[in-house]
Structure 1
């Protein structure tokens, strides 16, 4: 938990300003700041906690922007506090782009110190992890009616959203490069979203008819722009409740029931204590091929998909990873 948030002018905490996840508040009322506090004139919208992490930004930092459809007066901008104080006032380009894609041209400000705001509008949290992953109706309506409306579909009909170019230690899939080769032979274009701007990602996601994706944050952006006629398969890379959250997001926002494919022969983790999001799943290629055929994402052409050689996997991982023991 993090002491952070909004206080009324008399020092009382504003409970609507808290960030909630999985049924608990991640931010708790802070103590009143001591000494002189910078003043910020005008009327501002409370945005909450600003994450630089792409997925958490989409799900938790945009959660109050539904209020843009319900403002009764002009605002001067949107105020956030950084998730990590060391990031101070840093705002990423994609975060400004997201706001612009909602049709808002106001400044997005991350406060690097406490501030006394002349007037602050504090909407409730309309999206989040856990029970909030389906979004409130006002939040879903705002995304459906405002977000990325001017971006036209542009890209291939068959798309594989990959994690293979992300740095090691980000929860990668072992064998993903081989999977890319197999899917390319089936007519899929391999797409690395981190190599493209927000607008290009959205155009490509809108254009695809069939999408296979390594489980990860990119699916949250897809959920905001997808349409019911699209088919989506999720290739699970770790044992995590986050997969269920992605399924619920796509179902609630886009009316898509995903084909969720969990075919891992083994899981590996960094030595010592490591969160499950950092684990690396080793793909069971034959089982994955069978499931993709059964769900209509690939046909029967081409060779049988082969698993990686265990010795090759061990050599790739080196001495920094250990096998996750199987549960009894």
Structure 2
């Protein structure tokens, strides 16, 4: 069996579906902010429990910590290791829930779920979606956040069953636990057609230029424009269960949808960045919902800050409504007769003005996007 310290979690199984039972474990939270942090679980003899590490793609984000000096507080009882608690909704859904499949495989109840904070300054603070999600998975089970090293009487450490990378597909055990436990009591409530929008979040969180125009076009086709962040988890899930056709700008809301989605629902995702051609969200939906999503890469261009000159979480795409409309019509999301035009130059200028942007001073077209467009034009000439 591959060593979990050296091998990323895999959806096929291995350590990602194993459970370690530790007595007198030491939980060590991160002492400093950082992408990769020394933090995690030590066994009673001081050895590192690699099953408790958080991996993203090909590397662990938590690495073996030092044994704390002196006596540390003791947490009595039996606790399930939750891993890193993210304050970001999307990362919480994908990375902080990845151990909860262990709830399906307990020989005795646990007293709660024990996390460490991603950012030390967050302390023990919990957000509404933290407690809301867990309550839909295991009602009335407490959450505890270790902000200083502590000794735990008994710690159950499931492997990482979900996350970013190959594990985005989820292990069989993780998907089964979600389907069996999560939000089972929430009834479907909402329209048959829904668009999961990001327009209310603003461009600073990876928005889309021209999304408001897209919403107008979709409303004319009978879609409800739904802003997930304006509703509690129960309302979001009720909408997702009710819809027969779901269109979404790719983002965190799709991860939540995938947890309750079904094979009979049609899903289309509009990509926000050119660099996301290998889209992990598509893998998430495909494996959790048992359906093939329509993936629409329809950027007219991508805008980046002059100071960066490359795609990042702060860049934003500009939609090509003509391409989006053609793809949605082809796959039955909108009427076959729909003919959505691209924005005129005057409309584009108005969109920038409405967003308070000055593209000539602050933003440039992504050089990589321009290179890709030139390569595509050359290939088309050769083919023609």
Match of 2:268 among 229, 233, 251: 233
User: Which residue number corresponds to residue 141 of structure 1?
Assistant: 176
1:322 counterpart = 2:339: no
How many equivalent pairs are there? Answer: 328
User: Which residue number corresponds to residue 291 of structure 1?
Assistant: 327
Q: Give the 4+ runs in structure 1 shifted more than 6 A.
A: none
> Which piece of structure 1 moves more, 238-247 or 78-87?
238-247
Distance 2:277 2:77 in 1: 39
Match of 1:97 among 113, 126, 132: 132
Larger Rg: 2
1:58 counterpart = 2:93: yes
Distance 2:278 2:192 in 1: 24
1:6 counterpart = 2:6: no
Q: Secondary structure at the match of 1:247?
A: helix
1:311 counterpart = 2:346: no
Distance 1:78 1:242 in 2: 36
Q: What is the Cα-based RMSD across aligned positions, in Å?
A: 1.7
The alpha-carbon deviation at position 279 of structure 1 amounts to: 1.7
The alpha-carbon deviation at position 313 of structure 1 amounts to: 4.4
Distance 2:277 2:127 in 1: 24
User: Which residue number corresponds to residue 112 of structure 2?
Assistant: 77
Confirm or deny: 8 A CA contact 2:326 2:339 kept in the other structure: no
Confirm or deny: 8 A CA contact 1:268 1:321 kept in the other structure: yes
Confirm or deny: 8 A CA contact 1:232 1:259 kept in the other structure: yes
The alpha-carbon deviation at position 166 of structure 1 amounts to: 0.5
Q: 1:58 to 1:308 in 2, by over 3 A?
A: farther
Match of 1:279 among 312, 315, 318: 315
Unaligned runs of 5+ in 2: 1-35, 376-384
Deviations 1:46-103 (A, max 9, x none): 0000011111111110000000011111211111011111111111111111111113
Tell me the TM-score normalized by structure 2.
0.82
1:150 counterpart = 2:192: no
Distance 2:275 2:64 in 1: 30
The alpha-carbon deviation at position 308 of structure 1 amounts to: 4.9
Deviations 1:102-159 (A, max 9, x none): 1342111122211111111111111111010111111110011111111111000010
> Which piece of structure 1 moves more, 283-292 or 235-244?
235-244
User: Which residue number corresponds to residue 241 of structure 2?
Assistant: 206
Q: Secondary structure at the match of 2:238?
A: helix
Confirm or deny: 8 A CA contact 1:22 1:131 kept in the other structure: yes
Tell me the TM-score normalized by structure 1.
0.95
Q: How does 1:105-124 map to 2 (within 5 A)?
A: 105-124=140-159
Confirm or deny: 8 A CA contact 2:99 2:160 kept in the other structure: yes
Deviations 1:197-231 (A, max 9, x none): 00100000000011110011100001000000100
1:43 counterpart = 2:83: no
Deviations 1:229-269 (A, max 9, x none): 10001011112448621111111111110111111111012
Distance 1:212 1:243 in 2: 19
User: Which residue number corresponds to residue 283 of structure 2?
Assistant: 248
